[in-house]
Structure 1
Amino acid sequence: MTTTTTPNTTAPQPEDEDFTTSEGLRALLRRLHEAGPGSWQHDPVAAALMEHAARKYVPLARRHGLDPWEAATAAFDEMRRKGAREADDPWAYVTHGVRVTCIFEERAQGLMCSVHQARRPHISAFHDPERFSDRETPLSDYHPAFHIPDPQTTDDEADEDAAETARRAGKVVEDAIELVSSLDWPADLARAAVEHICTALMRTGSRQAAYENLRRDQHSLALLDLPQSSWTALLRALLGNPHPAYAATSTGRGVLLRLLFEEPPEMLLRDDDLVLTISLAAPTRGRRRAGGEPS
């Protein structure tokens, strides 16, 4: 995609309309909304606001391989929503909306489909086309068919292996709790939910079996006081998509298996799909429908 040059000039703005602050942006958005149709097109402060937004979201656009003005367009759509005018922090609201839009724009390019289709869960669940040679982890490193136990292992070595396995498992659990907590989940709820999932996983010995049992377990929902949508999203994020087609992908492995393979938590936080799934599933987070019409 051809990249255009981001404007570097800003039209003069009144001192009482400093849209760089949250209060100033809220006041400007309310004034433009009350002015009615055409206000955005003819208002010089609105033009300055869009130039500022184009510069502000350049790094976000570059990260997702987009033109800065595509991010500015997404910001424009977010600013016209009622939620932006009523948010406690309008800039945070706009930034979150722009990030989600950029993620779906990049997702659509990877899936070779429209952004509208990429926003649909049954479409975005597919992974981008890839070759076996493109995968970061060789098949022999994680597929059980290639794992052959050593028959000469002594009892002492077995005890050491068991202790090391227990240590690694404990670290995986703590890393998973920290990851979920950092994505808008309350710390106590994140710990209870992750530990509950890990307990079920140890009991069943299979991620797929644990996923199916927990997904239908109403007792777990009542115990954790979680809505069904949040619980299902967290299960899929931690245990992975159980469909065999995703077994060798990040979506299929899930957070717990990726941590067990010693993938650093910092790398998981760079997975936009994972971050979006967990943060939007947080039960205390106010969510809105993606792609909604401006208020």
Structure 2
Amino acid sequence: MADQPDSSLAFKTSEGLRALLIRLHREGEGAWRRDPEATALMEYTAARYVALARKHGLDQWEAAGAAFDAMRTPAVRNANDPWAVITRAVQVTLIAEERANGLLCSTHQARRPQYSSFHDAERFSDRENPLTDYHAAFRVNPNSEIDDNTMNDERPTGIVRAVEDAIALLSLLGWPERTARTAVEYICMRLSEAPSRASAAESLRRDLHARALLDIPSTSWHSLLRAILGNPDPDQTHTAVGRGVLLRLLIGEPLRSLLTDDDLVLLVGLAAPTPAGAR
């Protein structure tokens, strides 16, 4: 009896794979589970991409799963070289999986271009440099003597200093000191709870409780928000108008510099409420 060609090896060629994928597609739902040739194909696929999976620190069956997803698409069935398209799809998926594992996020997020510049999550303890190298707030002098006077003599942090300067700016431009302090501290509180400066500004604009608390008209409140938080328009991000008073103070701009900003002084000064808090 003459030797017959081994049909189970047919899918190793692009045309053989195309024929199998078209047949499985035509047989409809359940064909992949029932067909022994489909089982052999997936075992071969897992072995084919084992090196690529290991390169990205993943299991060979994760590569096979990515190949399976690609095999069921019309793009692969109709491609000039189905195996080449599948290989590229597997590579892209494995790269995204590796990035997602490193960034501690979903694969869907890892595929987005805006995350491409981020480095993998790291523990501070895994780095060669000590924690104190990253920020001055982590530095503690073990030889310093701590007494009651030292405990009470708290030096303001950059944030505290920025808040105090923002309050001083409002006071110098006609805002009652108590109203200015309450307003700035309230804005900062809401800002700390919001996911972004833009969302905090939008939420504060609709905050009727704040206006009632401060007893100021809506025009004063909206002008204050625009001055303190800046313009949320992305095109204004790197301008003085876009940054707002708090951010400008936080990045080191002195209070005297803000007082020379004619547009800011006009905005804050005209928005100052009357002592009676007229609406």
Which protein has the larger Cα radius of gyration, Structure 1 or Structure 2? 2
Question: Could you tell me the TM-score, scaled by structure 2's length?
Answer: 0.46
Highest RCO, 1 vs 2 (Cα 8 Å, sep ≥ 6)? 1
Question: Could you tell me the TM-score, scaled by structure 1's length?
Answer: 0.43
